[in-house]
A and B are shown apart, each in its own frame.
Chain A
Amino acid sequence: AQSVSQHNHHVILSEAASLELGCNYSYGGTVNLFWYVQYPGQHLQLLLKYFSGDPLVKGIKGFEAEFIKSKFSFNLRKPSVQWSDTAEYFCAVNAGQAGTALIFGKGTTLSVSS
């Protein structure tokens, strides 16, 4: 069965620190990969996505993620976090077919202190 593992449950950083959130998935076929973010009191929204092509994808708000197929990983990075990045971050995958369900990791809560 497909699964997604996020390594960190809660990450605490100071402003300007660099961020890397780990995500590994288990699935043997073609996958689409996503990072979603939920800011306090807001909807889940898409940060970035990978379908094919360049494995380094850039998203909104200065986030990027790198797909490493050999490691089944899709880690999220940001060189310098801001207080406004405080949120819960979810890694998700679905099979490389139209309309299939997303499989989510358990989420990582990021707290950034100013």
Chain B
Amino acid sequence: EAGVTQFPSHSVIEKGQTVTLRCDPISGHDNLYWYRRVMGKEIKFLLHFVKESKQDESGMPNNRFLAERTGGTYSTLKVQPAELEDSGVYFCASSQDPFEGPPHFTYEQYFGPGTRLTVT
């Protein structure tokens, strides 16, 4: 079974530019999450999709960040315009639908390798 994949693995952009990160969840996983780790800090939640709908976007730092999940498959996270403080590692995770499979599968999130974003 293929895991969660993310593209690119590393992106270096200048302040003011735009970057789009992509996440492909595990096939069949309706829940998709974005997290971010800024250097030296904890991994922080950004937002959660259930299929194509935003279930919780309380962690999005500001309106320079736009996440989409058209068709309920892969997701993109766009940062426009990028600022220095946006540098960090962006993780994507996915999990199964809570109404499918054994109950414990509801809660386990599988993570991708992350995209390291450097804004100079």
Residues of A near any B CB (own CB < 8 A): 4, 32, 34, 36, 42-46, 49, 51, 90, 92, 94, 98-107
Contact = CB atoms under 8 A, between A and B. Distances in A.
A55 B86 CA distance: 39
A105 B98 CA distance: 25
Interface of B: 3-4, 31, 33, 35, 41-45, 48, 50, 55-56, 59, 91, 93, 95, 98, 103-104, 106-114
Contacts of A106: 41-42
A90 B114 CA distance: 15
B50 A99 contact: yes
B95 A90 contact: no
Given A51-B104, A51-B107, A94-B107, A102 B45 contact: yes
Contacts of B106: 98-99
Given A43-B113, A44-B91, A101 B33 contact: yes
A32 B113 contact: no
Nearest to A33: B107
Contacts of A101: 33, 45, 48, 56, 59
A21 B31 CA distance: 30
B31 A99 contact: yes
Given A34-B108, A46-B108, 10 more contacts: A43-B114, A51-B103, A99-B31, A99-B98, A101-B33, A101-B56, A102-B93, A102-B109, A103-B45, A107-B42
A105 B44 CA distance: 9
Contacts of A100: 48, 56
Contacts of B4: 43
A90 B89 CA distance: 15
B42 A98 contact: no
